[in-house]
């Protein structure tokens, strides 16, 4: 910020003072520039920002943290170098993770990028975040998600909606998740199997989870979700009795069943008449 000065010739004492100030200016120029940038950013009232240009990831650090409430980043990089890095287990861009974590007034965040799981731990500082969608844009193993997802869910968050997409990876053992600390969560969906023993909050109203083709395990218990209104089950159900659980959910209004194979749907048809 520049301030205009008078055109009058200063007196000798004033000239001495001015010279001294000018001499000391280079020492404080960095601080002054930072202050001016902060003042300029404070003048921005940007509330929503979205981009699908991978090179724009660095611009996230320039977004005004005091006003931004909605952010959507689709930063897919299909280059050979990126895919090889993911194959070798290299995590998401740390600069992107740090820049996202500083946006403390965010209420809604959609993040679709390579190795998206790497950004999850830093999101625990977003105390106003009510809606979170994190999607991996490439084939990635479940092992890249387990630790970051556990770190995220270990903290009580204001989330009301959480969607996790782990990419179109190979069949795997799924997830053992504890969401009991998420006391405000109403809508939860994950592309992956939930292990028996996963803890879901009783106030859930919408639930969706998918099981990869030909991967079977004991079904998760759903009968404690007495407020559940919408349920979407997808995948291979080795025990069709899991389909009887919705009949014990008093608030259920919508049930969607998605089978990978025709013979699986035929095996489940025997219990359809017992559904609510």
The half-sphere exposure of 239 on its side-chain side, counting CA atoms within 13 A, is 10
Q: Which of 151, 170, 189 is the last residue of a domain?
A: 170
Q: Is the model more confident about 44 or about 256?
A: 256
Q: Domain for residue 253, yes or no?
A: yes
In this structure, the answer to whether residues 126 and 203 fall within a common structural domain is no
Quick one: pLDDT band at residue 195, thresholds 50, 70, 90?
confident
Q: Domain for residue 62, yes or no?
A: yes
The answer, yes or no, to whether residue 198 has pLDDT greater than 70, is yes
In this structure, the answer to whether residues 161 and 66 fall within a common structural domain is yes
Q: What pLDDT does 78 receive?
A: 52
Q: What pLDDT does 209 receive?
A: 85
The answer, yes or no, to whether residue 127 has pLDDT greater than 50, is yes
Q: Domain for residue 29, yes or no?
A: no
Q: What pLDDT does 121 receive?
A: 85
In this structure, the answer to whether residues 150 and 184 fall within a common structural domain is no
- How many domains does the chain fold into? 2
Query: Is-contact 105 69, C-beta < 8 A?
Result: yes
Q: What pLDDT does 233 receive?
A: 85
Per-residue pLDDT averaged across 64-87, rounded? 70
Q: What pLDDT does 38 receive?
A: 59
The answer, yes or no, to whether residue 196 has pLDDT greater than 70, is yes
Query: Is-contact 234 264, C-beta < 8 A?
Result: no
In this structure, the answer to whether residues 228 and 198 fall within a common structural domain is yes
Q: What pLDDT does 28 receive?
A: 46
Domain with 243, as residue range(s), is 172-276
Q: Which of 144, 170, 196 is the last residue of a domain?
A: 170
Q: Which of 116, 151, 170 is the last residue of a domain?
A: 170
Q: Domain for residue 30, yes or no?
A: no
In this structure, the answer to whether residues 105 and 226 fall within a common structural domain is no
Burial of 108 (0-12, 13-18, 19+ CB in 10 A): middle
Q: What pLDDT does 85 receive?
A: 47
The answer, yes or no, to whether residue 241 has pLDDT greater than 60, is yes
* Highest mean pLDDT out of 39-53, 143-157, 256-270: 143-157
In this structure, the answer to whether residues 84 and 135 fall within a common structural domain is yes
The answer, yes or no, to whether residue 44 has pLDDT greater than 80, is no
Quick one: pLDDT band at residue 9, thresholds 50, 70, 90?
very low
Q: What pLDDT does 225 receive?
A: 94
Per-residue pLDDT averaged across 271-275, rounded? 75
Three-class secondary structure assignment of the chain: CCCCCCCCCCCHHHHHHHHHHHHHHHHHHHHHHHHHHHHHHHCCCCCEEEECCHHHHHHHHHCCCCCCCEEEEEECCCCHHHHHHHHCCCCCCHHHHHHHHCCCCCCEEEEEECCHHHHCHHHHHCCCCCEEEEEECCCCCCHHHHHHHHHHHCCCCCCCEEEEECCCCCCCCCECCECCCCCCCCEEEEECCECCCCECCCCCCEEEEECCCCCCCCCCCCCCCCCCCEEEEEECCCCHHHHHHHHHCCCCCEEEEEECCHHHHHHHHHHHHHCC
Q: Domain for residue 203, yes or no?
A: yes
Q: Is the model more confident about 80 or about 77?
A: 77
In this structure, the answer to whether residues 160 and 181 fall within a common structural domain is no
In this structure, the answer to whether residues 83 and 132 fall within a common structural domain is yes
Q: What pLDDT does 171 receive?
A: 47
Q: Domain for residue 26, yes or no?
A: no
In this structure, the answer to whether residues 212 and 98 fall within a common structural domain is no
Would you give the distance in Å from CA 131 to the centre of its chain? Answer: 8
Q: What is the mean pLDDT of the chain?
A: 74
The answer, yes or no, to whether residue 52 has pLDDT greater than 80, is yes
Task: Give percent of the chain above pLDDT 70.
Answer: 66
Q: Domain for residue 232, yes or no?
A: yes
In this structure, the answer to whether residues 108 and 183 fall within a common structural domain is no
pLDDT 10s digits, 167-179: 654 445 678 899 9
In this structure, the answer to whether residues 111 and 186 fall within a common structural domain is no
In this structure, the answer to whether residues 161 and 177 fall within a common structural domain is no
The model's pTM:
0.76
Instruction: State in Å, rounded, how far the first CA of the chain is from the last one.
Output: 67
The answer, yes or no, to whether residue 86 has pLDDT greater than 70, is no
């Amino acid at each position: 910020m520049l301030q205009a000065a008078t055109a009058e010739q200063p007196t000798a004492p004033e000239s001495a003072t001015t010279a001294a100030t000018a001499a000391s200016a280079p020492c404080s120029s960095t601080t002054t520039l930072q202050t001016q940038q902060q003042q300029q950013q404070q003048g921005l009232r940007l509330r929503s920002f979205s981009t699908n240009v991978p090179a724009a990831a660095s611009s996230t650090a320039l977004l005004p943290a005091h006003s931004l409430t909605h952010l959507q980043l689709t930063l897919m990089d299909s280059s050979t170098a990126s895919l090889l890095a993911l194959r070798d287990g290299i995590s998401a861009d740390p600069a992107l993770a740090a820049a996202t974590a500083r946006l403390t007034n965010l209420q809604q965040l959609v993040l679709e990028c390579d190795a998206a799981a790497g950004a999850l731990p830093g999101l625990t500082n977003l105390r106003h975040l009510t809606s979170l969608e994190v999607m991996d844009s490439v084939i990635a193993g479940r092992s890249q998600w387990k630790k970051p997802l556990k770190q995220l869910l270990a903290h009580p968050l204001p989330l009301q909606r959480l969607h996790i997409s782990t990419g179109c990876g190979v069949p795997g053992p799924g997830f053992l998740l504890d969401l009991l600390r998420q006391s405000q969560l109403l809508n939860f969906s994950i592309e992956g199997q939930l292990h028996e023993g996963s803890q879901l909050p009783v106030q859930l109203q919408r639930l969706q989870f998918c099981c990869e083709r030909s991967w079977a395990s004991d079904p998760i218990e759903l009968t404690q979700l007495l407020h559940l209104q919408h349920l979407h089950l997808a995948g291979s159900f080795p025990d069709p009795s899991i389909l009887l659980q919705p009949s014990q959910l008093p608030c259920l209004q919508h049930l969607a069943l998605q089978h990978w194979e025709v013979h699986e749907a035929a095996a489940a048809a025997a219990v359809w008449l017992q559904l609510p």
